[in-house]
Amino acid sequence: MDDYNFDKEYDRAATDSLKWADRLQRCGSDEVLPLWVADMDFACPPAVVEAIEERAAHPIYGYPIRSESWYSAIASWFERRNGWKIDPSWIVYAPGVVPALNFAVQAYTEPGDKVIIQPPVYYPFPKAIVGNGRTIVENPLILEGNTYRMDFEGLESLIDSRTRMLVLSSPHNPVGRVWKREELENLVEICFRKELVLVSDEIHSDLILGENAHICSASLSAQSAAITVTLTAPNKTFNTAGLTMGCAIVPDPKLRSAFAAAVGRSGINVSNIFGNVALEAAYTKGEPWLEALLVYLKGNLAFLDAYLRDKIPQLSVFPLEGTYLAWIDCRGLGLSDEALSDLFMKQAKLWIDEGTMFGTCGSGFVRINLACPRAHIAEAMVRLEKAVNALGAGCLG
């Protein structure tokens, strides 16, 4: 880890950063510390920066192609990191996972069809369903102690003749679960038997902080490969979200053809020229940086957990098996969601993602982004401790 300085702080406010630049307009103060949207405050891997600089040095930025090496870089990465041997021909370009989710809804359902999600879950999921004229069906995760599980019995009862698709978050955003093989096998069995397309958002699959290894849903069996569309991108792993780069991995030819047709209808077939070279550099040369990143993220999580236990015991962080997004239980404060929002934003001056953004079962929780220098986490905890102590003294009303 000596080669990478994750403690270094960068001024991002002047870079049109979504995370930093809108603080005054959206929060009413430029003193707010942003710990919300899922991008990192770390420099991208040196190999990525160097590849972009090298390509930028050529002064012509015309239409690019995605070369054979682009596809093989993705395939090689998934085989090395996840043990999933994929055929490069299964890969279909998309400009990110959220656009890819919209393409999947358009490809595999018709207006009025039903799509299942498992809240609390990443908020673009319901937006993609409703925004395309489909109907959301919720199968909420079951909270048991300090962990969540899928409700398989409830899922069976929800599926009818208009149900076409289930969207899985794996690893799960925001609750941080990395699903075990048995859980994924149960889900695949139900989806296969009920003839549902399983769209698996696996963008956080490289960010594993717990003991459970990530298992690609499509890799489980011939059945899973036949029904699963895997959405992924290097964006979360290597902090390249601004380069609009992602893909779907679709083993089944009919599902792949339908997805590619949806992408084609959108008119988005040409990828970002710098995204192309960044993806190749990240997947071929970025592994040492990623391993160092995971060590640092685990340190941030340990710091956060220890601070809450020691100084703000009314709050607790759920076990973070995957992603760099901590799911914090704030129900011990006894506050309404409106008062909880006020505590974080106005009193502590922390810009976090409120649990209610993630739908059903998100009340009383917040999501905090740990992908930042540890000094940011330390400052956030000091601010939060002061605000909670003031609350206890009756200063917030």
Rounded distance between C-alpha atoms, residue 198 and residue 309, angstroms:
38
CATH fold for the domain made of 48-285? Aspartate Aminotransferase; domain 2 (3.40.640)
48-285 has the same fold as 13-45+287-392:
no
Residue type, 118: Q
How many other CB atoms sit within 10 Å of the CB of residue 69?
A: 13
Of the candidate CATH numbers 3.30.1330.200, 1.10.150.80, 3.90.1150.10, 3.50.50.100, the domain formed by 13-45+287-392 belongs to 3.90.1150.10
Rounded distance between C-alpha atoms, residue 30 and residue 22, angstroms:
8
Distances (CA, A) of 137 to 117, 155, 204, 280, 350: 6, 10, 24, 38, 33
What is the per-residue pLDDT for 395? Answer: 46
**288-302 pLDDT tens trace:** 999 999 999 999 999
The ranges assigned to domains in the chain are 13-45+287-392, 48-285
- Bridge partners for 147 per DSSP: 144
Low-confidence stretches of the chain (pLDDT < 70) are 1-2, 393-397
**194-204 pLDDT tens trace:** 999 999 999 99
Distances (CA, A) of 310 to 305, 306, 324, 375, 379: 9, 6, 22, 18, 16
Identify whether the C-beta of residue 188 lies closer than 8 Å to the C-beta of residue 170.
no
Rounded distance between C-alpha atoms, residue 386 and residue 291, angstroms:
35
Q: Give me the percent of the chain exceeding a pLDDT of 90.
A: 94
pTM of the prediction?
0.96
How big is the chain by its Cα radius of gyration, in Å?
A: 21
Rounded distance between C-alpha atoms, residue 228 and residue 202, angstroms:
12
- Using CB atoms within 10 Å of the CB of residue 315, give its burial: 0 to 12 exposed, 13 to 18 middle, 19+ buried: buried
What is the per-residue pLDDT for 26? Answer: 79
